[in-house]
Amino acid sequence: MKIEETILDGCFIIEPRVFEDNRGYFMESFNQNTFNNSLNLNVNFVQDNESFSTRGVLRGLHYQTGEHAQAKLVRVLKGSVLDVAVDIRKNSKTFGKHISVELSEDNKKQLFIPRGFAHGFLVLSEQAIFSYKCDNYYNKASEGGIIYNDSTLNIDWKLEHNDLIISDKDIRLPIFQDARL
């Protein structure tokens, strides 16, 4: 497994070892011991989620607050997405900064997003299946979000506004400055 530190403290890009031959490929997509030892963490994932979306679907930016905050390990099983993590930890030196990473079925990269981050993704391919592990259970009362086009964050989503498909809930999210962090 290859691990790349990002500019955001605690956020890592992970590339699993892939073994290819004339039959296809094999990879270990997750191993709890290897993951924790390699990243020097003690994360225990308790829930796996999966979504299917079409080109232009933007999901996010979402997070959980307080005791229900979630760390996530995300990857793409089919297609490609632009994955975005935003540091919303007020005491962090990278507070308000973000990273964007293309995750795809071809590059097989994964992104580890620690607790205290907002997360979203945009589907770049015709279809995508997105998978993520969470280290805490979802709690509706603790959910929060930030509008995708917040001018302070200035995220380049790579597609034109007219090409985006956004839920009614996500289009009404507050700006970063007004978000419940």
Phi, psi of 68 (to 5 degrees): -100, 10
User: In a 3-state reduction of DSSP, which class is residue 66?
Assistant: helix
pLDDT category of residue 71 using cuts at 50, 70 and 90: very high
pLDDT value of position 142:
97
- Rounded Cα–Cα distance for residues 79 and 146 (Å): 25
pTM listed for this prediction: 0.95
- Which residues are known to be catalytic? 62, 132
Q: Which residue in 23, 18, 156 sits closest to 75, CA to CA?
A: 18
Instruction: Work out the percent of the chain whose per-residue pLDDT is above 70.
Output: 100
pLDDT value of position 181:
83
pLDDT digits 0-9 by tens, 73-87: 999 999 999 999 999
- Rounded Cα–Cα distance for residues 103 and 81 (Å): 5
pLDDT digits 0-9 by tens, 137-148: 999 999 999 999
Residue 158 reports pLDDT greater than 90: yes
Give the mean model confidence (pLDDT) for residues 88-107. Answer: 97
Residue 50 reports pLDDT greater than 90: yes
Q: What is the dihedral of CA 40, 46, 52, 56, to 10 degrees?
A: -50
Residue 180 reports pLDDT greater than 90: no
pLDDT value of position 6:
97
Tokens of 64: 């959980």
User: In a 3-state reduction of DSSP, which class is residue 162?
Assistant: helix
Tokens of 23: 């039959």
Which domains does the chain show, CATH number per domain?
Answer: 2-178 (2.60.120.10)
Q: What is the largest CA-CA distance in the chain?
A: 53
What is the residue type of 132? Y
Q: Which residue in 87, 80, 115, 127 sits closest to 101, CA to CA?
A: 80
